[in-house]
Amino acid sequence: MKNIITSISSFEELIKADAIYVDKTDIIYSLIEKGPGMFFCSRPRRFGKTLTLSTFEAIFKGKKELFKGLKIYDKDYDWNEYPVIHIDLGRIQAKSPNELKESLKREVERISKAYSVEYSERSTYYDAWNDLILNISQKGKLVILIDEYDKILSSNIYNPDVEEMRDVLRGFFEVIKASSALVRFVFITGVTKFSKVSIFSSMNNLSDISLSDDYSLLFGYTELELEHYFGQYIEKGMRALGVSRKRYLERVKRKYDGNRFTPRQREAIYNPVSIGSFFFNGGIDFDNYWINTGATKLIMDVARHIGFDISKDITTPISKSDIAAFDILEMASNTVSAYAYKSLLFQCGYLTIRSMNRRGDIFVLDFPNEEVAEAYSENLLAAYTGKNTESLFKGSDLRSSFDDGDTIEAIEKLRAVYASIAYDLLRDAGEAHYSTAFFCMMKALGARIGSEIETSRGRIDAVLENRRHVYIFEFKYNKTASEALKQIVETKYYEPYMASKKKIHLVGMNFSSSDRNINEWKEEIM
């Protein structure tokens, strides 16, 4: 049984360590064989981008022996050696335009030494980068690989100098565009896709494959790949838990599968870091391994900045153009839209394509799986309450009260949680803040909850469902619980759930600005 190594993102090191490598070289080959070109692909952090770039590097350096047994090995490929410039912009910690320029210049110096070409310390970063490309191209057509191109900007989203820093990066990519005649292949990756006018304004020859169905499986693992490469680990995990293979794989799928990054992607894919970490740890602990991604802070900062209402805004349809790209400066503005934020959530891996219209230009997004839903909810809950999940609930088993159908006890526990939130965080809160906090509480506790559920008569604020009970919630702010309950009854929101034979709880709830809490609620049971 091959080892699982989650700490290595170098293709060569992974192969030499005889560790599991999920073979994507047939897709990589199809991209390379298109001939000289420049490509861009955005994918969430920790989805295998760095390893993929390392695989490109090994191929273009002609290291055929490393690929024995892989799909590309017997392809009609020349295995010529090309000079490769590989830059990880995610390593740069610049906080100002000058720091960014100096950091880029140091990268140029590092690569110049590696290829033993001339380097002038007196040059500007722009001239040094241009000279580097010209000098190395004397050794052959260049391959340029850029990882985490957007990390600098996303880390400085509320920095007043972010626009100038963006312009520095624009100049960096302009040099690549101007050198296209010297280039064999360019591949740029990052988490987010900024609009072309923002970063890649001059790179009109840059092919964006982020939404291309042909390359939808380049990152992440398919069901077939999961069972093929991790088969022995699956057997070990199911034996340890004492469950059938079918039941075990269904649980793995609910927790880590469901990612769709292109409109007509053939099948959903598993998060590779989650799968690797899960089986590395024995395949029995269904933990949230992806939660500590570098994008988390950015996501939560923007959510609080715009007052994003998860209970209403997640399931609102969004256009293809809205999820395709956005402007970093819009994220930092006071007028950023929920659509722009959802685009950010999609690109960062928190949302996935759930469905689309017939034309393929309008999408419904949703959380891809339990891990992501819980991770997002836990982090957003902390942003809205100032507390992590453990300190917020303090051992209060809120979910169990709902599971038992004890609404009185559950509401009292909810009131205690809201009462523990700092005044400053609720001072200017509206209905969205309270309903979002409620939604996140239940998601973080692993409950089955939906928000803004569509019915023939309207949209339900929230539906909480367990084995024996269905709770239908209508939230009001500075109104009355009677009004909320009346709306549920008159619109017959309960009708889709009548066939379930579960006890149905209709709950109208009002939040008060003066109490900063639930001041009244009413319930009817069906």
**pLDDT given for residue 476 in this prediction:** 94
- Look at residue 367 and tell me whether its pLDDT is greater than 80: yes
Range in 281-285, 431-435, 483-487 the model is least confident about: 431-435
Task: Average the pLDDT over 11-30 and give the result.
Answer: 96
The structure tokens listed for 464 are 């909480």
Band of the pLDDT at 424, cuts 50, 70, 90?
low
- Look at residue 295 and tell me whether its pLDDT is greater than 60: no
Main-chain dihedrals φ then ψ at residue 80, nearest 5 degrees: -70, 150
The long-range contacts involving 514-523, CB below 8 angstroms and separated by at least 24 positions, are: 516/418, 516/421, 516/423, 516/426, 516/427, 516/429, 517/415, 517/418, 517/419, 518/411, 518/414, 518/415, 518/418, 520/480, 520/481, 521/411, 521/481, 522/481, 522/482, 522/484, 522/485, 523/407, 523/485
Task: Average the pLDDT over 320-340 and give the result.
Answer: 71
Residue listed under structure tokens 């790949």: 225
- Look at residue 326 and tell me whether its pLDDT is greater than 70: no
Distances (CA, A) of 254 to 243, 248, 258, 370, 391: 16, 10, 8, 6, 27
**pLDDT given for residue 410 in this prediction:** 94
pLDDT 10s digits, 486-498: 999 999 888 888 9
Top-tier CATH class for 386-526: alpha beta
CATH 3.40.50.300 domain locations along the chain? 11-215
pTM of structure: 0.84
**pLDDT given for residue 203 in this prediction:** 76
Residue listed under structure tokens 């690569």: 111
**pLDDT given for residue 204 in this prediction:** 74
Band of the pLDDT at 31, cuts 50, 70, 90?
very high
- Look at residue 195 and tell me whether its pLDDT is greater than 70: no
The structure tokens listed for 188 are 């740029």
CA distance 93 to 293: 17
- Look at residue 293 and tell me whether its pLDDT is greater than 60: no
- Look at residue 41 and tell me whether its pLDDT is greater than 70: yes
Q: Report the DSSP beta bridge partners of residue 521.
A: 509
Considering only residues 511 and 439, tell me which one the structure prediction assigns the higher pLDDT. Answer: 511
**pLDDT given for residue 70 in this prediction:** 97
Band of the pLDDT at 425, cuts 50, 70, 90?
low
The structure tokens listed for 141 are 């057509």
CATH 3.40.1350 domain locations along the chain? 386-526
- Look at residue 20 and tell me whether its pLDDT is greater than 90: yes
**pLDDT given for residue 451 in this prediction:** 62
Distances (CA, A) of 377 to 80, 440, 500: 49, 5, 27
Task: Average the pLDDT over 424-428 and give the result.
Answer: 61
Q: What average pLDDT does the chain have?
A: 88
- Look at residue 81 and tell me whether its pLDDT is greater than 70: yes
**pLDDT given for residue 292 in this prediction:** 58
Range in 93-107, 212-226, 279-293, 459-473 the model is least confident about: 279-293
pLDDT 10s digits, 114-127: 999 887 777 888 99
- 11-215: CATH topology is Rossmann fold (3.40.50)
Task: Average the pLDDT over 174-197 and give the result.
Answer: 86
- Look at residue 194 and tell me whether its pLDDT is greater than 90: no
Contact present, 488 and 444 (Cβ < 8 Å): no
| Phi-psi map region of 517: left, alpha, beta (phi>0 left; psi -120 to 50 alpha) | beta
Chain centroid to Cα 8, Å, comes to: 21
**What single-letter DSSP state applies at residue 215?**
G
**Ranges assigned E (strand) in 192-268:** 206-208
The structure tokens listed for 253 are 């799928």
Task: Average the pLDDT over 299-314 and give the result.
Answer: 72
CA distance 169 to 127: 14
